[in-house]
Amino acid sequence: MPTTPGQFPWATFVTNVAGCFLIGVLMVFVPRAHRLVRPFVGVGILGGFTTFSTYAVEFDGLLRTGHAGLGFAYLAGTLAAAMVAVTLGSVVTRALT
C-alpha cells in the first residue's frame, strides 16, 4: 500500500509488528522443532514477510521531505512496537501451550 509523503506508513508498521509477533510465537516452538526450522521460518519466511528494508526507506523518505519529527516517531515507534510484539507473542504462546 503506497503511503502519501509526509504521512505515517501504517501498512509497513502493521506488517512489521505482526511479523515480530509471529517471531515471538516461533521462539516458543523452536526448542521442540528440528534445528533448521528456526532459520527457515524465522529468517526465510518471516524475514520475507516483514519489511524492515521498506521501513528504512520510508524513514529516509520522511526525513528527505522535511518530516523529521514524524520520521523519528516512526523509527522509534516501530522498534518499540516490534519489541513488545515479540514479547507478547512469546508470552501468549506460552500461556496457550
50 is in an annotated binding site: yes
47 is in an annotated binding site: yes
Cα 18 to the center of its chain, rounded Å: 6
* Interatomic CA distance for residues 92 and 71, integer angstroms: 31
Specify binding-site residues for Na(+).
Answer: 47, 50
Binding residues: 47, 50
